[in-house]
Copies of this chain bind each other. A is one copy, B any other.
Amino acid sequence: MTQVSDAYDPEDLLDLGPLPTYDGYHATQVAFPLGGIGTGCVSLTARGALVDWEIFNRPNKGTILPYSFFTIWARAQGQEPVTRVVQGPPSPPFTGQGGGGYQGYGFGVTREDGSGLPHMWSSEFRGEFPFAWVEFEDPALPVQVSLEAYSPFIPMNAAESGLPIAVLYYTVANISDKPVDVSLVGSLFNPVGYRGSGPFIGEHLGGNVNEYFDDGLVRGLRMGSDKYPADSPRYGTMALSTPWSDVFHQAASLRAGWFDAMHDFWDHFSADGTLPEREYPPSADGSSDVGSLGLRAHLEPGDSTILPFFISWHFPNFVKYWGSGGDSCCCGHDCRPVWRNYYASQWTDAADAAHYYADHEDRLYGQTKLFHDSLFASTLPPYVLDAVSSQASILHSPTVLRLPDGTFYGFEGCHSDAGCCEGSCTHVWNYAQTVAFLFPALERSFREADYTYNLDDSGHMGFRLQLPLGSPPSQFHAAADGQLGGLLKLYRDWRLCGDDVWLRKWWPQAKRALEYAWTQWDSDRDGVIDGIQHNTYDIEFSGPNSMIGSFYLGALRAAEEMARHLGEAESADEYRELYERGRARLDGELFNGEWYVQRPNWELTPKYQYGEGCLADQVIGQWLATLAGLGPILDQEHVRTTLQSIFAHNWRAELWEHANAQRIYALNDEKGLLACTWPHGSRPAIPFPYSDEVWCGMEYQVASHLIYEGFVEEGLAIVRGTRERHEGTRRNPWNEFECGSHYARSLASWGVLTALSGFEFDLPHRTLGFTPRITPDDWLSFWSVDGAWGTYAQEIEDGRGTASLRLDYGSLKLDCLVLGSVAQAAPVDVKVAGKPVAAEASMVDGRMVVCLKEGVELQKGQALTVRVG
For A662, give the chain B residue with the smallest CB separation: B259
Cβ of B108 and Cβ of A663 under 8 Å apart? yes
Cβ of A102 and Cβ of B420 under 8 Å apart? yes
* Shortest Cβ gap from A216 to chain B (Å): 36
* Shortest Cβ gap from A764 to chain B (Å): 40
- Chain-B contact segment, one of A11-19, A109-117, A779-787: A109-117
Which residues in window 209-232 of A have CB below 8 A to B?
none
Q: Is A732's beta carbon under 8 Å from chain B?
A: yes
Cβ-defined partner of A104 (8 Å) among B101, B106, B415: B415
Q: Is A602's beta carbon under 8 Å from chain B?
A: no
* Shortest Cβ gap from A688 to chain B (Å): 9
Contacts of A583 in B (CB 8 A): none
Cβ-defined partner of A667 (8 Å) among B109, B265, B735: B109
Q: Is A90's beta carbon under 8 Å from chain B?
A: yes
**Complex Cα spacing A449 to B3, Å:** 72
A239-274 to B contact mask, C-beta < 8 Å, 1/0: 000000000000000001011101111110010000
* Shortest Cβ gap from A61 to chain B (Å): 5
Q: Is A661's beta carbon under 8 Å from chain B?
A: yes
Q: Is A89's beta carbon under 8 Å from chain B?
A: yes
Contacts of A259 in B (CB 8 A): 661-662, 689
User: Known contacts A105-B61, A111-B661, A661-B263; is A667 also within 8 Å of B417 by CB?
Assistant: no
Q: Is the interface of A mostly helix, strand, loop or mixed?
A: loop
Count of identical protomers in the assembly? 2
User: Known contacts A267-B685, A668-B89; is A662 also within 8 Å of B111 by CB?
Assistant: yes
Q: Is A665's beta carbon under 8 Å from chain B?
A: yes
- Chain-B contact segment, one of A92-100, A181-189, A496-504, A840-848: A92-100
Cβ of A416 and Cβ of B106 under 8 Å apart? yes
* Shortest Cβ gap from A424 to chain B (Å): 19
* Shortest Cβ gap from A193 to chain B (Å): 21
Cβ of B416 and Cβ of A740 under 8 Å apart? no
Contacts of A121 in B (CB 8 A): 656
Contacts of A28 in B (CB 8 A): 93
Which residues in window 415-440 of A have CB below 8 A to B?
415-418, 420
* Shortest Cβ gap from A657 to chain B (Å): 6
**Complex Cα spacing A710 to B532, Å:** 83
**Complex Cα spacing A4 to B659, Å:** 52
A174-203 to B contact mask, C-beta < 8 Å, 1/0: 000000000000000000000000000000
Contacts of A94 in B (CB 8 A): 664-665, 667, 725, 730-731
* Shortest Cβ gap from A390 to chain B (Å): 15
Q: Is A660's beta carbon under 8 Å from chain B?
A: yes
Contacts of A96 in B (CB 8 A): 737
Cβ of B730 and Cβ of A92 under 8 Å apart? yes
Cβ of A95 and Cβ of B737 under 8 Å apart? yes
Contacts of A737 in B (CB 8 A): 95-96, 106-108
**Complex Cα spacing A127 to B471, Å:** 60
**Complex Cα spacing A580 to B53, Å:** 61
Which residues in window 699-714 of A have CB below 8 A to B?
none
Which residues in window 661-697 of A have CB below 8 A to B?
661-665, 667-668, 685-687, 689, 692
Q: Is A650's beta carbon under 8 Å from chain B?
A: no
* Shortest Cβ gap from A189 to chain B (Å): 16
How many residues in A have their beta carbons less than 8 Å from beta carbons of B? 80
Cβ of A687 and Cβ of B415 under 8 Å apart? no
Cβ of B685 and Cβ of A101 under 8 Å apart? no
For A93, give the chain B residue with the smallest CB separation: B29
Q: Is A729's beta carbon under 8 Å from chain B?
A: yes
**Complex Cα spacing A686 to B608, Å:** 65
**Complex Cα spacing A729 to B93, Å:** 6
Cβ of A264 and Cβ of B90 under 8 Å apart? no
Cβ of B61 and Cβ of A741 under 8 Å apart? no
Contacts of A98 in B (CB 8 A): 62, 98, 416
Contacts of A100 in B (CB 8 A): 415-416
Q: Is A739's beta carbon under 8 Å from chain B?
A: yes
Cβ of B95 and Cβ of A29 under 8 Å apart? yes
Q: Is A299's beta carbon under 8 Å from chain B?
A: no
Cβ of B661 and Cβ of A106 under 8 Å apart? no
* Shortest Cβ gap from A328 to chain B (Å): 13
**Complex Cα spacing A115 to B658, Å:** 11
Cβ of A61 and Cβ of B106 under 8 Å apart? yes
**Complex Cα spacing A659 to B418, Å:** 37
**Complex Cα spacing A732 to B757, Å:** 51
Q: Is A414's beta carbon under 8 Å from chain B?
A: yes
Contacts of A729 in B (CB 8 A): 92-93
Q: Is A118's beta carbon under 8 Å from chain B?
A: yes
Cβ of B663 and Cβ of A740 under 8 Å apart? no
**Complex Cα spacing A839 to B674, Å:** 80
For A120, give the chain B residue with the smallest CB separation: B656
* Shortest Cβ gap from A772 to chain B (Å): 35
Q: Is A413's beta carbon under 8 Å from chain B?
A: yes
**Complex Cα spacing A739 to B92, Å:** 19
Cβ of A95 and Cβ of B685 under 8 Å apart? no
* Shortest Cβ gap from A63 to chain B (Å): 11
Contacts of A270 in B (CB 8 A): 659
Contacts of A116 in B (CB 8 A): 659-664, 667, 692
Cβ of A90 and Cβ of B668 under 8 Å apart? yes
* Shortest Cβ gap from A264 to chain B (Å): 7
Which residues in window 268-283 of A have CB below 8 A to B?
270
* Shortest Cβ gap from A38 to chain B (Å): 20
Contacts of A687 in B (CB 8 A): 263
A35-63 to B contact mask, C-beta < 8 Å, 1/0: 00000000000000000000000000110
Cβ-defined partner of A659 (8 Å) among B101, B118, B731: B118
**Complex Cα spacing A661 to B113, Å:** 10
A628-664 to B contact mask, C-beta < 8 Å, 1/0: 0000000000000000000000000000111111111
Cβ of B739 and Cβ of A107 under 8 Å apart? yes
Cβ of A415 and Cβ of B102 under 8 Å apart? yes
Cβ-defined partner of A661 (8 Å) among B107, B262, B743: B262
Extra inter-chain contacts (4) besides given A121-B656, A267-B685, CB under 8 Å: A61-B99, A94-B665, A99-B417, A106-B413
Q: List 14 A-B contacts (CB under 8 A).
A: A90-B667, A92-B729, A94-B665, A95-B730, A97-B97, A99-B416, A99-B417, A106-B743, A107-B740, A108-B737, A110-B664, A117-B659, A258-B689, A270-B659
Binding site for B on A (CB under 8 A): 28-29, 61-62, 89-90, 92-102, 104-111, 115-118, 121, 140, 256, 258-260, 262-267, 270, 413-418, 420, 607-608, 656-665, 667-668, 685-687, 689, 692, 725, 729-732, 735, 737, 739-743
Which 7 A-B pairs have CB atoms at the shortest separation, nearest pair first? A262-B661, A106-B741, A116-B660, A109-B664, A99-B416, A106-B737, A92-B730
